[in-house]
Chain A
Amino acid sequence: NAGVTQTPKFQVLKTGQSMTLQCAQDMNHNSMYWYRQDPGMGLRLIYYSASEGTTDKGEVPNGYNVSRLNKREFSLRLESAAPSQTSVYFCASSKTGIGNTIYFGEGSWLTVV
């Protein structure tokens, strides 16, 4: 049972380059999330998807786009990477509703130089 799988685990980008972080879950969850984690700060929501075909901005959406390709997959795209986007990115998923456990991917370490 893979749970939440995200790739790549590590990536170095040059300023201005683009890339896509991939995330897939095999738990039939409706809700999927992308977070970033920076030193001294809590996890911050970038984008959220309540179901296939729907996405919603979170706390820090600027510079990112997302795509909920199907129920399993939720990708995060950086169109023109900036050093401020150097961070650790986590994908997560859960069932819809307030009382459900959230499951996280292993994280993707992104450095923009």
Chain B
Amino acid sequence: KNEVEQSPQNLTAQEGEFITINCSYSVGISALHWLQQHPGGGIVSLFMLSSGKKKHGRLIATINIQEKHSSLHITASHPRDSAVYICAQKGGGSEKLVFGKGTKLTVNP
């Protein structure tokens, strides 16, 4: 069974801090997604990656295929980054995404 584990479950930071959220999965990867869920509930896709590293503004996503691990980094965090960050993976030949439980990030001014 494909399982996706995220850590930490909750994270509080001060504005400007460097943030790291971790994601581990159990089966071979097809694609790994990082999603952001705003306090109002909407979910948007941040990254989709199957190898290496991707960067968009202050957000960086990395993946280590051998270790079955991905990280989402936020540089120079800002209160507007406060959200739930969700890791999801397609693997094992399935079209279906398996989701982690999310990491709730709060950035204080």
Contact = CB atoms under 8 A, between A and B. Distances in A.
Interface residues of A, number: 25
B43 A40 contact: no
Interface stretch (A15-23, A62-70, A75-83, A98-106): A98-106
Interface stretch (B11-19, B54-62, B66-74, B90-98): B90-98
B95 A107 contact: no
Given A98-B95, A101-B33, A106-B42, 19 more contacts: A31-B95, A35-B99, A40-B101, A43-B86, A43-B88, A45-B96, A45-B97, A98-B30, A98-B90, A99-B31, A99-B48, A101-B45, A102-B45, A102-B97, A104-B42, A104-B43, A104-B44, A106-B41, A107-B42
Interface string B76-109: 0000000000101010000111111110000000
Nearest to B45: A101
B48 A42 contact: no
Contacts of A90: 43
Contacts of B33: 101-102
Interface residues on B, range: 20 to 34
Contacts of B95: 31, 48, 50, 96, 98
Interface string A87-113: 010100000101111111011010000
Closest 6 CB pairs of A and B: A42-B99, A98-B30, A104-B43, A43-B99, A107-B41, A42-B101
